[in-house]
Amino acid sequence: MSRQEVNTSLVRRYGASRGSIRDLIIKVVRKREGGEMFSPTLREIFRVHHGVDVGMYTHGGCFHPFSFGPNTTIGRYTSIAATAFAATDNHPMQYKSMHGFFFNPVLGIVDKEWAFEPLSIGNDVWLGHNSIIMPGVGSIGDGAVVAAGAVVNKSVPPYAVVVGNPARVVRYRFDPDTIERLRSEKWWEKDIEELKLHLDQYTRAYGVAGDDEPAHRPAAAP
């Protein structure tokens, strides 16, 4: 698929719209630009109007408005369940009241800009059904798996598999040497057209055995 240009007119129209009109614009953009894995306009809409910066080929719940908080950055080739959620702010427990009137300028009472904490979600991450990333989490590392229903309250290392509430590391997808090799290789920086030339590396179990000798398939994620 050839690289597409951002439709700046639709980006502006989205910003000037509300409710069902915004939903319609997202639907139109998805259809016109080959779906959310490929759409540059959808990425620009969420970067400009929702503060969520999404890498190419990433898809899923990150393109549902307000499911991921402002100041979130997501890498490439990441898979996100439609029901996943990530918050980058919280109600101020140290205030006299935690009601939105007293910290959210959108509600028209205060004019102080509310601060959103930065969240970095890496490349080739998998966020499962109903997984939740809590405020204060700094990063989800490259290649990590957040299992269905997991509640993440601290950063997740690269290639870790986390489960439960609170989420805990139960294993890693690969051994340390393989993880280091993958992180150094940074295959996700390549476009899909280039990766298609080497499909054999991406359609079988991968590990320390090398390219010509497939490793044993790791256990399925919980």
pLDDT higher than 70, residue 50: yes
Specify the higher pLDDT residue, 216 or 23: 23
pLDDT higher than 50, residue 179: yes
Q: What is the pTM of this model?
A: 0.88
Q: Which of 49, 50, 91, 198 is catalytic?
A: 91
Whether residue 91 lies in the annotated active site: yes
- CATH class for domain 51-174? mainly beta
Cα 81 to Cα 1, 27, 65, distances in angstroms: 24, 18, 14
pLDDT tens per residue, range 109-167: 999 877 899 999 999 999 999 999 999 999 999 999 999 999 999 999 999 999 999 99
pLDDT higher than 80, residue 69: yes
- In the chain, ranges of CATH 2.160.10.10 domains: 51-174
Q: What is the pLDDT of residue 166?
A: 97
Q: In what order do the strands lie in the sheet with 168-172?
A: 59-60, 79-80, 126-127, 145-146, 160-163, 168-172
